[in-house]
Amino acid sequence: MADRLYRAPAAGALRIEPLGDLTAIFDRRSMQTHLVVAPMPEIIAAMGDTPCDAAMLAERLAAAFDLADAGGDDVAAVLRERLAELAALGLVAAA
């Protein structure tokens, strides 16, 4: 079965502000603020404006970060969980 595709919000929908080890994400659509830790902000940034699944996102993040030793399947599995968590928060949506 293929992984679910997710889409990040339109540009400007989220205000992302680092606060030390935490990051505040203000969702202008829901008027809610979420406090998250890495890699959540990095995942949202890597999604860009095209729908992607965990495997595509793993490739994008591998290009930006040193994930060569992490193992592609392991990274995709973790990203699958993180994408579901971001969707539950309303910060990404199923495409």
The CATH number of residue 90's host domain is 1.10.10
Q: What is the pLDDT of residue 91?
A: 97
Q: What is the pLDDT of residue 1?
A: 58
Range of the domain at 66: 6-94
**1 occurs within a structural domain:** no
Q: Helix, strand, coil: what percent of the chain each, to 5?
A: 40, 25, 40
29 is a domain residue: yes
**pTM, rounded to two decimals:** 0.89
pLDDT of residue 34: 98
**Which mean pLDDT values do the consecutive 10-residue runs of the chain (95 residues) have?**
89 96 97 96 95 93 77 82 96 95
| Amino acid 90: pLDDT | 96
Please report the sign of the dihedral spanned by the C-alpha atoms of residue 30, residue 50, residue 76, residue 63.
negative
Instruction: Report the number of distinct structural domains present in the chain.
Output: 1
In a domain, 83, yes or no: yes
